[in-house]
A and B are shown apart, each in its own frame.
Chain A
């Protein structure tokens, strides 16, 4: 959790320093969601997510250096510098991206489960998306087919209560988003997403349900992003107050877990500080190394796609 938080601080630094461009969205505040769910999935269960996507590949085993290189558009990046912050992929660890069209990847999430069912395997696909995506039409087409065809997919709405800059109550007619599963006969619930231990308990039970019953499940995980929507979100006062953010930070997943561990004598405050320092140093080093990494060669612009253009042709 500390490593993800420190990684995200460094990715924001990369944006501020002009080493990362475009759109960059950090996961700060929401860590317990990905950690809880990915901690309970089986190693061969595939995962797909939207564009706030740095945490998943890190948790699945992808190296922070490769992810940071991708964010900085460098050759050693996960996509050789051609995806960027929003498009991290990691085939080796079953991470299917990394997608930038709100709601667009949800159908592919069910497609992963389709392939699992087709091959008569007992894997479960985990499909993360946000509360904003929960309004997209394709999500409902997908839920219908997932239920109709008994696909083993868990739809995980990471409800951070703001769709970019539009609050939940202004974008959703029914703000309890999990209830939208009712029309498709899909089991559903809302759960807390800040206490990682609770998330793990719920995730274990729900993944087990999907695997055992070969059925979809819709879960709405209540969370909060401490950062802005994207790195360029400069005026959060347009949609939330400082007091609201401060209130939410009282349930900072890092602090909740720290308090729990200290309370139970599993760890001391001093040890946590040492871990924090170690994570900060590790990610600062990742930043430095990535900043020195080579850029893609111009000729690579034609690689990894079918294109009818020839390199010598140019514009």
Chain B
């Protein structure tokens, strides 16, 4: 077992998949000679050359479009978005083209493409660079959407993404790139559609994905220490497909839930999770499901205001206490 940072785990997956399949190539802005904005692709240009690590102009729609065309011909592009916020420019390509062609062609064509990059807030990136896009994409049939929170999941799920014949939106969090963990030396993959219980508990389910799964864990520690509450932490990992069984069985055990996501609260993917739980676990609930999302404002620049917008452990603890006090 070697300790790997999240970004290094991603790189290991890229290297292994490029070694395994010569149809896999990397394409994006500043990923080659410049080594990648977040250094995920560091050293890969030197290792694989300009043929398989392709620096592009700053033109997201064109990058996704060209990659989709290449995928129609059987190549397996891994597109890096410098930030997922920039993928907004490419929404027409992703939604109208990449996600549609398999269906519109009656299954004649598939698009084995991965679009990956940092999504969500970091450190004062302000309003145009801090979007959490996963909920937008999870709305679109034809896409798969994942948001791993650990180096092992980042590694194993990226390998799964590259091998999938459907387009996959793979969101990372800039706040996770430096996170370190022991990652098994032997090759492995992590399947989509399987949530994982990070910490078992009996009193309340804290549900999140990407960096918010870690925020849930921090909150669980506080709740245990200060309140003697045993919270169960469920890391969703995969939004589409969504493992509702694991979510439901957790809620049926604890009878209470708080769902946490970084995206704007209104209409975010956490709202979908809340509704699924409500539909299927209504009789098991002892209190309304708590919901925590980002504040419904553009991300402000000032650090104190930015921190106010992003859910943190304190917010989760507060909402969990309210949920624990409330009874139906």
Nearest chain A CB to B199's CB is how many angstroms away? 26
B242 CB within 8 Å of chain A: yes
Stretch at the interface among B93-101, B253-261, B317-325: B93-101
Cβ of B62 and Cβ of A142 under 8 Å apart?
Answer: yes
Contacting residues, chain B, for A308 (C-beta < 8 A)? 240-242
Cβ of A82 and Cβ of B65 under 8 Å apart?
Answer: no
Bound together, the chains give a CA A315 to CA B241 distance in angstroms of 18
A304 CB within 8 Å of chain B: yes
Nearest chain A CB to B191's CB is how many angstroms away? 14
Cβ of A138 and Cβ of B106 under 8 Å apart?
Answer: no
Bound together, the chains give a CA A79 to CA B240 distance in angstroms of 25
Nearest chain B CB to A142's CB is how many angstroms away? 5
Cβ of B73 and Cβ of A116 under 8 Å apart?
Answer: yes
Contacting residues, chain B, for A307 (C-beta < 8 A)? 141-142
A178 CB within 8 Å of chain B: no
Q: Which of A48, A80, A98, A306 has the most CB of B within 10 A?
A: A306
Using a Cβ–Cβ cut-off of 8 Å, how many residues does chain A contribute to the interface with B? Answer: 47
Contact of B104 among A89, A91, A112 (CB under 8 A): A89
Stretch at the interface among A25-33, A101-109, A197-205, A264-272: A101-109
Bound together, the chains give a CA A116 to CA B51 distance in angstroms of 12
Chain B, interface size category, equals: 35 or more
Bound together, the chains give a CA A116 to CA B65 distance in angstroms of 15
Contacting residues, chain A, for B103 (C-beta < 8 A)? 82, 304-305
Cβ of B106 and Cβ of A80 under 8 Å apart?
Answer: yes
Contact of B106 among A77, A148, A309 (CB under 8 A): A77
Residue of B nearest to A92 (CB): B108
B307 CB within 8 Å of chain A: no
Nearest chain B CB to A282's CB is how many angstroms away? 24
Nearest chain A CB to B134's CB is how many angstroms away? 14
- Known: A96-B72, A118-B70. Is A101-B102 also a contact (CB below 8 A)? no
Nearest chain A CB to B135's CB is how many angstroms away? 14
Cβ of B105 and Cβ of A112 under 8 Å apart?
Answer: no
Contacting residues, chain B, for A97 (C-beta < 8 A)? 101, 104-105
Contacting residues, chain A, for B70 (C-beta < 8 A)? 111-112, 114-115, 118
Stretch at the interface among B10-18, B53-61, B120-128, B170-178: B53-61
Cβ of B74 and Cβ of A115 under 8 Å apart?
Answer: yes
B298 CB within 8 Å of chain A: no
Cβ of B68 and Cβ of A79 under 8 Å apart?
Answer: no
Contact of B142 among A98, A107, A113, A306 (CB under 8 A): A306
A83 CB within 8 Å of chain B: yes
Q: Residue-by-residue, is B173-208 near A (CB-CB < 8 Å gives 1, otherwise 0)?
A: 000000000000000000000000000000000000
B166 CB within 8 Å of chain A: yes
Bound together, the chains give a CA A90 to CA B108 distance in angstroms of 7
The number of inter-chain residue pairs (CB within 8 angstroms) is 146
Contacting residues, chain B, for A145 (C-beta < 8 A)? 56-57, 59, 62, 66
Residue of A nearest to B168 (CB): A306
- Known: A98-B104, A111-B66, A111-B67. Is A306-B166 also a contact (CB below 8 A)? yes
Contacting residues, chain A, for B105 (C-beta < 8 A)? 78-79, 83, 87, 89, 91, 97-98, 304
Within 8 A of A (CB), among B9-61: 25, 51, 56-57, 59, 61
- Known: A87-B105, A111-B73, A144-B57. Is A306-B65 also a contact (CB below 8 A)? no
Bound together, the chains give a CA A138 to CA B141 distance in angstroms of 24
Contact of B109 among A89, A106, A109 (CB under 8 A): A89
Contacting residues, chain A, for B108 (C-beta < 8 A)? 78-79, 89-91
- Known: A99-B97, A104-B97. Is A114-B66 also a contact (CB below 8 A)? yes
B271 CB within 8 Å of chain A: no
B75 CB within 8 Å of chain A: yes
Q: Residue-by-residue, is B229-263 near A (CB-CB < 8 Å gives 1, otherwise 0)?
A: 00000000000111000000000000000000000
- Known: A79-B105, A111-B73, A115-B73. Is A305-B66 also a contact (CB below 8 A)? no
Nearest chain A CB to B273's CB is how many angstroms away? 12
Contacting residues, chain B, for A148 (C-beta < 8 A)? 57
Contacting residues, chain A, for B69 (C-beta < 8 A)? 48, 96, 107-115
Nearest chain A CB to B69's CB is how many angstroms away? 2
A297 CB within 8 Å of chain B: no
Cβ of B106 and Cβ of A118 under 8 Å apart?
Answer: no
Cβ of A304 and Cβ of B102 under 8 Å apart?
Answer: yes
Cβ of A107 and Cβ of B141 under 8 Å apart?
Answer: no
Contacting residues, chain B, for A100 (C-beta < 8 A)? 96
Within 8 A of A (CB), among B78-115: 92-93, 96-97, 101-109
Q: Which of B69, B96, B240, B241 has the most CB of A within 10 A?
A: B69
Contacting residues, chain B, for A137 (C-beta < 8 A)? 61
Q: Residue-by-residue, is A216-249 near B (CB-CB < 8 Å gives 1, otherwise 0)?
A: 0000000000000000000000000000000000
Bound together, the chains give a CA A304 to CA B108 distance in angstroms of 9
Question: Besides A91-B108, A96-B69, A112-B72, 5 other CB < 8 A contacts?
Answer: A82-B104, A89-B101, A89-B109, A108-B66, A305-B103
10 contacts between A and B (CB under 8 A): A82-B104, A89-B101, A89-B105, A89-B106, A96-B69, A107-B61, A145-B57, A303-B107, A306-B142, A307-B142
In the A-B complex, the 7 residue pairs with the closest CB atoms: A111-B69, A107-B65, A141-B62, A115-B73, A79-B106, A108-B69, A304-B107
